[in-house]
Amino acid sequence: MPRLTDSNSGPVDFCRDCFPCEGEAAERYQFAVKPGANDGRGDCFEYECDHPDYECDDYTCHMCGCELTRRDT
């Protein structure tokens, strides 16, 4: 937590305060995948997936834009 990948396997990072519940995340980020959009792998939506160490790089929350820190892991 707090990362998910959308249906095309695009990473979406959130701070703890903005991380949506699984149902809301699926409504927003799980969608029909166009053929060839993700190398034919199908729907790659994943909730609470692994993420890099937010302390080392410049990651920001997708919703509010705040910088992600160790608190958000």
On whether the CB atoms of residues 47 and 26 are closer than 8 A, the answer is yes
pLDDT band, very low/low/confident/very high, at 1 (cuts 50, 70, 90): low
Say what the pLDDT of residue 2 is: 87
Q: Domains of the chain: which residue ranges?
A: 1-73
Q: Give the pLDDT of residue 20.
A: 96
In three state form, how does the secondary structure of the chain look?
CCEEECCCCCEEECCCCCCCCHHHHHHHHCCCCCCCCCCCCCCCCEECCCCCCCCCCCCECCCCCCECCHHHC
What strand order describes the sheet that includes 46-47? 11-13, 3-5, 46-47
Q: Could you report the per-residue pLDDT of 18-64, keeping only the tens digit for each?
A: 999 999 999 999 998 888 777 778 899 999 998 888 877 788 999 99
